[in-house]
Amino acid sequence: MFTVRSVTITILALGCGWLAGAPVQAQSPGPAASVDEVFAGWSRPDGPGCAVGVIRTGSLVYAQGYGSANLEYDIPITPSSVFHVASISKQFTAMAVALLAADGRLSWDHDIRRYVPEVPDFGASVTLRHLANHTSGLRDQWSLLRMAGWRWEEDVVKQMDVLDVLSRQRALNFPPGAEFLYSNTGYTLLAVVVERVSGQSLRAFAEDRIFAPLEMRDTEFHDDHTALVRNRAYAYRRGDDGAYRVSIPDFDVVGPTSLFTTVEDLARWERNFYTGELGGHGVLADLHQRGTLSDGRVVSYGAGLTHGSYRGHLTVGHGGADAGYRSEFLRFPAQELTIAVLCNEPSSNPDRLVRAVADVYLDLAAAAQSTSELRAVEATPVAPVSNGSGAGGVVGREEVVDMPLLADLAQLTGFYRRDDSDTPLQLVVRDGSLTILTGGANGTLLPAGTDRFRLAGSATVGTFDRTDGPAILELSGPVGARYRQEPHWRPAADELARFVGNYYSAEVGAQYSLWVERGRLMLRERRLGTRPLIPTYPGGFFTSGFYLSFTDGPGGSVDGFTISTERAWKVRFDRQ
């Protein structure tokens, strides 16, 4: 039977306003027992686990630790355990920039080159707002460094390394403001802006202007991976032999990541969203402004916060993943409910855990409604689903659509490629349904009409056009795109010979060697090692997150290739 290592129920005396002097209400055992059940699988004393905090109207009403913070010394996780929270860091970096903007020392509309001239001139202005909203078009730093041969948890990455690889870039993924694509590079640059405008490191600025005023005593931006961290929860992952091994980030980059904090301190941060004691409500409104693309489309992201919904309730939050750490911080503003889950094992899935805990408290709130209110809701007629865009109404039953024949679905399978990225979508038929296996929109496509499908669990709609040659797939939404079906390709060994050679990229400062071995095209980089290239479409290959697309020179022979990941498109390698 699993046992809980440490239980702490904390009500924070957070001071001023209507919270001061409020009577402490004893928490009934019902919610606590239900939350403990959610984390039952992470309660082993000999394995990693999680810390959870439940925050109501700015106060931490329930906090608990499960599992071990240090397997070598049998130290349990508690609500005071300090975790690396990865991308949850971004909202704090955005707050630092917003405070400087409120001081009149910078503007969100300023070009990044005004503060960081190391950024190349791409011919279009990249603003601080573009960086904060992931609409800059800048290639993601981690993808670029990986192409250059950097090895995670082995090679120490510093801010100057990011600036160096960024300074080499010759192109953007897309024009600034044209699309939304998550890019950690933008937040590293925002950290540099804070440093150069304030004269302090982001770590020092955040301590003076954010953490100290909010009494977040166990929170800091960790810009030196060798520095000691009291009460740190170490992260782990299982090796090939099934045994746990330490899995901790060793980079010294701050801004997009590297915040260390606790669920207790996150409650203090959450409280400020109600009181506005730090920055004021104008700054908070600025941070909650969602990004707008140049064509007027509004994205769900802005200033380190993702806006969404769960069970019909609006949500604002962010998750994080680095090495073995996983985290989720999700707010339900209308319900004045926030859940924080910080874990130290990569399979923990805090996104699911947060929502399971939210279910407990959302169901409690629903149960508190009067019987008459519930009956009134049950008596409300359900409106039919509109086939159009529909601006309102109650969503009822799914539209009934005839299932396409498997033979028809088979014609839609294969790799689909967009012109501005080598990263394809792969469609297969699985369990009788059309399924996306690769790309940023993984999942099952449910029939929604003739040659029309809806991506399960989302509002994204895919429409196929098969009127002229290969199928064209249009994905809707702010992150939608147009993809063209490519021919199936399985090259023979003699066809692969034309790709053999050495290739160099000035953009990432790396050389790749390619050769044919046992009928397969192989790739080697001195730090990445050797890996096989798997054919995708004619002239295209895949390996370990990299997509390669070869190009021919004037004489018809291969003169190089471009390489893409989901967040860095078409980095050029020239044949030597």
**Residue 550 near residue 561, CB atoms below 8 Å:** yes
Q: Return the H-helix or E-strand segment holding 473.
A: strand 472-475
**Per-residue pLDDT, 392:** 33
CB neighbour burial string for 346-381, b if at least 16 within 10 angstroms, e if fewer: bebbbbebbbbbbebbbeeeeeeeeeeeeeeeeeee
- 571 burial type by CB count under 10 A (0-12 exposed, 13-18 middle, 19+ buried): buried
pLDDT of residue 370: 38
Helix, strand and coil content of the chain, in percent to the nearest 5, comes to: 25, 30, 45
What pLDDT was estimated at residue 367? 66
Residues whose CB is less than 8 angstroms from the CB of residue 255 and which lie 6 or more positions away in sequence, other chains included: 89, 90, 93, 187, 188, 189, 190, 191, 192, 202
| Domains, the chain, ordered by start | 84-138+173-365 (3.40.710.10), 406-485 (2.40.128.50), 493-575 (2.40.128.50)
Looking at residue 478, what is its pLDDT? Answer: 58
Cα–Cα distance, 127 to 131 (Å, whole number): 7
Query: In what helix (H) or strand (E) does residue 372 lie, and over which residues does it extend?
Result: helix 371-379
Rounded distance, CA 82 to CA 399, Å? 48
Give residues with Cβ within 8 angstroms of 130, minimum separation 6.
136, 137, 176, 177, 186
What are residue 539's phi and psi, to 5 degrees? 80, 5
Counting Cα atoms < 13 Å in the Cβ hemisphere of 34 gives 17
For residue 282 the two structure tokens come to 């104008």
Which value, in Å, is the radius of gyration of the alpha carbons in the chain? Answer: 25
Q: Which amino acid is at 361?
A: Y
Residue 122 makes CB contacts below 8 A (sequence gap 6+) with 137, 171, 172, 176
- The whole-number pLDDT of residue 368 equals 60
Q: What is the chain's pLDDT, residue by residue, as a tens digit (576 residues)?
A: 333 333 333 333 333 333 333 333 334 457 999 999 999 999 999 999 999 999 998 899 999 999 999 999 999 999 999 999 999 999 999 999 999 999 999 999 999 999 999 999 999 999 999 999 999 999 999 999 999 998 877 889 999 999 999 999 999 999 999 999 999 999 999 999 999 999 999 999 999 999 999 999 999 999 999 999 999 999 999 999 999 999 999 899 999 999 999 999 999 999 999 999 999 999 999 999 999 999 999 999 999 999 999 999 999 999 999 999 999 999 999 999 999 999 999 999 999 999 999 999 998 877 665 334 434 433 333 333 233 333 333 333 334 455 566 667 888 899 999 888 888 888 999 888 889 886 555 788 888 888 889 888 777 888 999 887 889 999 886 557 889 999 989 999 889 999 999 999 999 999 999 999 999 999 999 988 999 999 999 999 999 889 999 999 988 899 999 999 999 999 999 999
Report yes or no: 416 and 486 within 8 Å, Cβ to Cβ. yes
Is residue 35 within 8 Å of residue 42, measured between CB atoms?
no
Phi, psi for residue 168 in degrees, rounded to 5: -85, -15
Kind of pairing between the strands at 510-517 and 313-322: unpaired
How is residue 210 written in tokens?
């954010």
Question: 10 Å Cβ neighbour count for 60?
Answer: 26
